[in-house]
Amino acid sequence: MVEWTEFERTTIQDIFSKMNYDVVGQQSLARCLVVYPWTQRYFGNFGNLYNAAAIMGNPMVAAHGRVVLHGLDKAVKNMDNIKAAYAELSVLHSEKLHVDPDNFRLLGDCLTVVVAAQLGAAFTPEVQANAISRPIRTYFTRWLIRTNLYDLTRTISYDLARPH
């Protein structure tokens, strides 16, 4: 179980209470699909994803971005038991959809950029470290461990970094 400080809890809840899920969700997912085009392979049924304008204007991207944000909101509401809160979603993404876990980190980076733009000067390094980066890392680590891909991912990363 993750131990959250009162500052972390308050900051996370404050950010999510101010977040416009329609805007932040759409912009985060769209940014991920544009910046990391290989992530588009999971969204083949979304129609036109041929360029940035098409992705930004795609209603299915907007709808799924909202779903993703509400998924993160579930973690905010279940901070003391994130693992149980995400059990079903973890199975879906790992066993049915076979989503590469690194894509969640990429989406988390895109979410951080969008939230920073939304919050402006209020998005201090302390807020980023405690309210965005740590919860995202916590969720993804739990997800990786749940799917037994954590060790595999570490092994592959080590093998790729090692000189041959």
Per-residue pLDDT band for 61 (boundaries 50, 70, 90) equals very high
Q: Which two tokens stand for residue 69?
A: 């944000």
User: Pick from 14, 8, 9: which is nearest to 126 by CA?
Assistant: 8
pTM of the model: 0.74
Check residue 154 and give its pLDDT.
43
Rounded mean pLDDT of the chain?
Answer: 76
**How many percent of the chain have pLDDT more than 70?**
65
pLDDT in tens, 30-41: 999 999 999 998
Q: In sequence order, which residues have a C-beta less than 8 Å from that of residue 62 and are 6 or more positions away?
A: 22, 25, 26, 30
Report the number of secondary-structure helices (H) and strands (E) in the chain: 10, 0
Check residue 131 and give its pLDDT.
65
47 or 74, which is more confident: 47
Q: Where are the domains of the chain?
A: 18-161
CATH fourth-level superfamily of 18-161: Globins (1.10.490.10)
Check residue 32 and give its pLDDT.
94
pLDDT in tens, 46-57: 999 999 999 999
